Structure 1
């Protein structure tokens, strides 16, 4: 079934190649081994074949004496004129040009695409870049192997490209790709740049490989030798002027330090802010690798790993008068006890330094202003009785003249955009409002005073997790929804932002791609239509979208039901819930997903469900707050209500045999289902679970459970309450898990032993986080569920 989904997904996928402000081409994969190049002209609102495929194939066969199939041309990338009049491509060691007007084919000697030069030395990929494309053109006599170099410098095999062929890869700016020939000396590496880049491999020359061992040049802040200004030397702040160097602090006995990377001078240079800090202190995670590959004896790895309650790095900006060679006293009451601070910078007039204060415990978030005289004020103030979702929802953008700030807040119960006046500290405008949320800000144009935003829950009668693109003026006027269609949307922009390609789908519907006018959202041309009917006709059994009220009998909960491939409604099937309930996001897939992960268990004879209960993210603040100091909840009461409602009209769902499985936070929830909700769930597999939030990473757990560590942590602990286990439990953990301390699982084991409870345990040497998702781990999980739940029954 996966091959069928893959084929239709490939056919529906549009990767645009813009060749002018109004024209583009893309390769349409019609079926296995067959494809078509499509040319789109936005101005004429037309979509057509990029050229006469049959005629080009005929001309190419005449020129090369090779058999050429017009439905499977021997190239996947073209260089097409902006008006579509000519098409260039690479084949059999040559670049050809085909003229659409007269159908003539000729050898082309000019440039072909943007050439990528080999790197002098292979390096790790950098992250955070925009979308890009790399085309590997193989002009050698043999097959090339292609590897992606990950951010740690490790090579990940990607594929191969035969002699005379090209390989087109969607990637990101800054990603590094290696190509290798037949022996080790044949190696080159290329880095993706913005847009499209062609890496032509013809001859090898000097080998390009190995990581640069140099540390590079670190950016320096403050005064350079011979310059006037403030700098950090040792543990103190110094000023250099025409009269020499002057130490202006005495930090010998305070235990704090000054950060040489946070020496921030005012525009006129007369004042300077230097950040003081005390280092973090916390838990050291020790991992013992029992079976290392390079030696017989076990190996110890030690790493810093802050846990809830540990000491974070405490930062404090301090103001200095450069001319007076002294500190300007400031009061830290408004930014006392920080979790962290974010630098914003000096105001345009240089009168005030600004930064963001995130309080430990995450109940207060402020934009702080500190002026030259030492006065400190709150420019923006956020507070919550539960938590401020800084880790997922904090967005800020300072205007070019530094007097306005675009800011996100849940102060009215929904995540929305606000425009603040940083001079007065007042809210100028609530830019967006309503019972829906802003997911993120795509871009802001200060000249037109407009923002483009991703929104959830804005279209009535649609799943509130479906993403849409909207535009709104910064004064809140002229809100315009730019996408249309019942599904979750993703989009790419034309180079000048005049057009956008809007692709939408659902878990049970193939993608549709529309070229839209970016200003109005109106349709310019349909590039790929919905062909779900054909997929269904070939025997596709899509996941079922199902919605039912949660624990309160009113709030709709959204999820999917996945049936076995040989589903028989006259039989009864055990039900397994695939759970992940981390409060940072939602997790039920919303778009068409070939090879859906839940199918593996379903196709072994189970009905598999996945849904998002209360306490997960991207709905109302009240919906999210259910998780606060309550991670044991996991939305499980909503899940029980949802599964029960589904089974009430589906006789083939056997509620006497319900299982649950998950990893990481899902592992915590899976075990919690048997500990806190025994009776409904009969069996659970918990992989690498964070079973006690006091043992897990600080940022994630303090965000939702708060600080200081209090009795709520113990109340949510699977370890503390292990004696309440009711059902069959399988625990899986990797000994090298550096995401969740393996001790979290082993402490559950100890508690179960002490309580004389039966369970199964799979310890996986040499494996890290997600060990249970290995092939062996998945096989053992299946055996466990078959043993305790059985499979289908008549």
Structure 2
């Protein structure tokens, strides 16, 4: 793997460059020898090479019979084994006799099978019956005799698009209109006749990336057709895309010919005057008609369906509806029997409603539902009466952020959820599991360890599986009593011995103050495995300040980051989250509102503080890199702080928000377009470039169009700035998947930040 990857890492001599290398201070041979050692070491620390060295860092529980028992697969030696846990008996044992199954399979001609390496990873357990599949053969064994029979698996036919659950009906789209077909009689009913290319029914906008990967022609439209469980009703919409932009991508290199190929696709871009609008349509198979519902049309802001909704067990359809400008947000419900639409919840804010936090959890047994909101300044849960829409009570309160609901025990009226920020004296991003009564009383912490907890509840709500870790503490998986949080037994510990054998060291956690001098920030510092505190190291900031989340790892899974390999080249690599990112409350979050360019402010403050603490940090040699919004951050940081950041690598950047998707940029920048859009644009700031900047973009990027980078190129040329550019044919948004780009980034920092000489292409 190592040699294969090295062979793919081409020389950076292919780069389109307008720069000169630093003067050579050592002989060419000496520099090449030193660089080759660095590159071989860095290669070893790439994510794809480190990740296989960690075993049993995760556990996927397969619950049995709706109770507490479960089985899971555990890596063991060079193979794996199936283990069965019975919490009520507090036992953990083999789920079956692995050797006897191996003997059975060998007797059937599967000679490469051993007890430690059985050729399947999924089983079914029911009483004394064990089932599993090997390729197209289905096996069934009776324990403990282990008499087995097998037969060819019957392939389940996929239902046709638009087919009802009972198979009787199918709604198809022809010439942009809806047709109802009776699959039994063959009768067809025309439901609509006003559909056109610009105003089609049920149209979705597929991401062209799928076609590029499959090597197939792009199909511009899919269909959004959602049936009720009783097969009587269907929800869809008529889409008005008459004012929507058509984007074009050019595929310069493909197998069909040497001529470039173009793909045109609908793309709702931020700031444009009109976005696609979807008017809801209800199809009734009893009446054989389709009616437009009396509800405001919902906007489509990215690929796929315009509707984000589903049918509930009570036979009603619910969907999310955010208004243009993102200051108003609804959860709506459709009663198909009356064709009436009502608002279950309305959220308003003078800045924005974050759509990533709006969670709806139906409780039909209690005539209630749970809704999450940031209206209090933190993300909390609220209980509503479903029939009236009345707010009954807040379920959670205080300075904490609800992260995810893990389960609802309707019999006891108790809710289990993970949240962060409530427990003092620890990283405020650490997730913990809590239980609370629906009336908001008796809030109980169930996972007290100061760590990142990933939990799962048993179906009977009696037990919790908890895998917890930190950036420096390997994962431990335990079984807890859901009433008290007490550990019943330890299930497994991650095996990191092979990882440690490489010399890998976990990153160091740090806490600093933001540029305001009072807000605590948290991050990680990656050091080389051969770190020498008496040396001085250049610093590289791995930046991504997108407001939709936070991005510094909190669990042990830091070995799957590019930062490890970069550090091995002789750098200190910083990963942190500043103000404006998510999960720290609204005041913290709103720093980025109409201020996406402010992301680097806290990074500069943090690196300066770290340099004051640690003599090994050379704050005169600071580099920065990022991807997507981090690509924007990288270029903006070089422009805004030209005396601080000396070298940057910006990949797939959305350098002006108006070229990018509406569904992300308009949340944080607002709508209509205001002067802040130009003030935050990298095109406006390009004239301030002083350092070394490498821009990279995939030619087939369907997420952030490559025009975003090319427009920055134009602005830099107009400002008479020198920079470097690499366009990757047949690559999409994520360039880290390409070994050439990974190597190119190494080369760039080694040459321009460290003053070294990259190895030559072999």
2: distance between equivalents of 1:280 and 1:191?
A: 52
CA distance in 2, matches of 1:256, 1:14: 47
Alignment pair present for 1:395 and 2:339: no
Whether 2:260 is the aligned partner of 1:298: answer: yes
Give the Cα–Cα distance (whole angstroms) in 2 for the partners of residues 295 and 320 of structure 1: 45
Deviation digits for residues 206-263 of structure 1 (CA, Å, limit 9, x no counterpart): 9x99x99x982523599989x9xxx99997999x9xxxx9999996999867669779
Correspondence for 2:270 among 288, 308, 329: 308
Alignment correspondent of 1:286: 248
- TM-superposed CA distance for 1:202, in Å, is 12
Distance 1:190 1:580, change over 3 A: farther
Question: Does residue 104 of structure 2 align to residue 94 of structure 1?
Answer: yes
Change (3 A) 1:346 1:247: farther
Instruction: With the length of structure 2 as denominator, give the TM-score of the two structures.
Output: 0.74
Kindly report which structure 2 residues correspond to 1:245-644, keeping only aligned pairs within 5 A, or say none: 277-279=239-241, 281-310=243-272, 311-317=274-280, 342-343=308-309, 356-368=320-332, 378-390=343-355, 392-400=356-364, 403-494=367-458, 496-528=460-492, 540-593=504-557, 594-634=559-599, 636-644=600-608
Please, what TM-score do these two structures have when normalized by structure 1? 0.71
8 Å CA contact retained: 2:325, 2:352: yes
SS of residue in 2 equivalent to 1:554: coil
Matched residue count: 665
Residues 361-397 of structure 1: CA deviation (Å, up to 9, x unaligned): 211012346899999765422111111111x111112
The answer (yes or no) to whether the contact 1:574–1:791 under 8 Å persists in 2 is: no
Partner of 2:118: 166
Q: Check the 8 A contact 2:45/2:568 in 1, yes or no.
A: no
Deviation for aligned residue 1:717: 1.1
Indicate the RMSD between aligned Cα atoms, in angstroms.
5.0
- Partner of 2:162 in structure 1? 218
- Distance, in Å, in 2 between the alignment partners of 1:369 and 1:500 is 33
Counterparts of 2:55 and 2:308, CA distance in 1? 43
Provide the C-alpha distance between the structure 2 equivalents of 1:454 and 1:171, rounded to a whole number of angstroms: 30
- The answer to which structure has the higher helix fraction is 2
Give 3-state SS (helix, strand or coil) of 2:475's partner: strand
Going from structure 1 to structure 2, the CA distance change for 1:369 and 1:36 (only over 3 Å counts) comes to: closer
| Higher mean C-alpha displacement, 668-677 vs 13-22 | 13-22
2:671 aligned to which of 685, 688, 707:
707
Q: Distance in 2 between matches of 1:393 and 1:718?
A: 29
Distance change (3 Å), C-alpha of 1:738 and 1:375: closer
Query: Which region of structure 1 is more displaced relative to structure 2, 769-778 or 640-649?
Result: 769-778
Q: State the distance in 2 between where 1:526 and 1:572 align.
A: 43
Task: Classify 1:329/1:701 alpha carbon distance in 2 versus 1 (closer, same or farther; 3 Å).
Answer: closer
Residues 494, 791 of structure 1: CA spacing in aligned structure 2 closer, same or farther, 3 A cutoff?
farther
Contact 2:332 2:342 in 1 (8 A): yes
C-alpha distance 261-683 of structure 1, shift in aligned 2 (>3 A): closer
How far the C-alpha of 1:626 sits from its partner, in A, is 1.6
Superposition pairs of residues 178-217 of structure 1, within 5 angstroms: 188=135, 216-217=160-161
> Greater relative contact order: 1 or 2 (C-alpha under 8 angstroms, separation 6 or more)?
2
Shift of the alpha carbon at 1:360?
1.2
Q: Quick one: which of 44, 55, 59 aligns to 1:10?
A: 55
- Residues 644-671 of structure 1, C-alpha deviations (whole Å, 9 max, x = no match): 1111110000000000001111111010
- Does structure 1 conserve the Cα–Cα contact (< 8 Å) formed by 2:53 and 2:498? no
Cα distance, 1:609 vs structure 2: 0.5
Kept in 2: contact 1:93–1:139 (CA 8 A): no
CA distance in 2 between counterparts of 1:323 and 1:251 reads 22
Separation (CA, whole Å) in 2 of partners of 1:220 and 1:568: 66
Aligned mates of 1:297, 1:234 — CA distance in 2: 32
Residues 497, 5 of structure 1: alpha-carbon distance in 2 compared, 3 angstrom cutoff: farther
> Is 1:738 the counterpart of 2:688 in the alignment?
no
Task: State how far apart, in whole Å, the 1-side matches of 2:198 and 2:576 are.
Answer: 50
Indicate conservation of the 8 Å contact 1:453/1:471, yes or no: yes
Picking from 670, 675, 681, the partner of 2:645 is: 681
Q: Provide, for residues 705-724 of structure 1, a one-character-per-residue CA deviation record: whole Å limited to 9, x for no partner.
A: 22223332222111232112
Q: 1:295 to 1:347 in 2, by over 3 A?
A: closer
Separation in 1, partners of 2:479, 2:570: 42
Which blocks of at least 5 consecutive residues in structure 2 are unaligned? 1-43, 125-131, 140-146, 183-187, 203-222, 757-762
Structure holding more strand per residue: 1
Could you tell me how far apart the structure 1 residues matched to 2:596 and 2:138 are?
A: 43
Establish whether residue 788 from structure 1 lines up as the match of residue 758 from structure 2: no
Mapped partners of 1:418, 1:781: distance in 2: 47
Q: Which has the larger radius of gyration?
A: 1
Give the direction of change, closer, same or farther, for the CA distance of 1:740–1:324 in structure 2 (3 Å limit).
Answer: closer
**3-state SS in 2 of match to 1:291:** coil
How has the CA–CA distance of structure 1 residues 139 and 295 changed in structure 2, closer, same or farther, with 3 Å as cutoff? farther
Distance 1:5 1:565 in 2: 13
Assess if the C-alpha contact under 8 Å between 2:99 and 2:114 holds in 1.
no
1:4-23 per-position Cα deviation (integer Å, ceiling 9, x unaligned): 97688326655556678566
Change (3 A) 1:234 1:665: closer
Using the alignment, how far apart are the partners of 1:412 and 1:306 within structure 2? Answer: 32
Distance 2:553 2:660 in 1: 26
Deviates more, 1:279-288 or 1:543-552: 279-288
Tell me how far 1:402 sits from its aligned partner: 8.3
Change (3 A) 1:338 1:700: closer
CA contact (8 A) 1:9 1:511 kept: no
CA contact (8 A) 1:140 1:164 kept: no
Q: Assess if the C-alpha contact under 8 Å between 2:655 and 2:712 holds in 1.
A: yes
* 3-state secondary structure, aligned to 1:577: strand
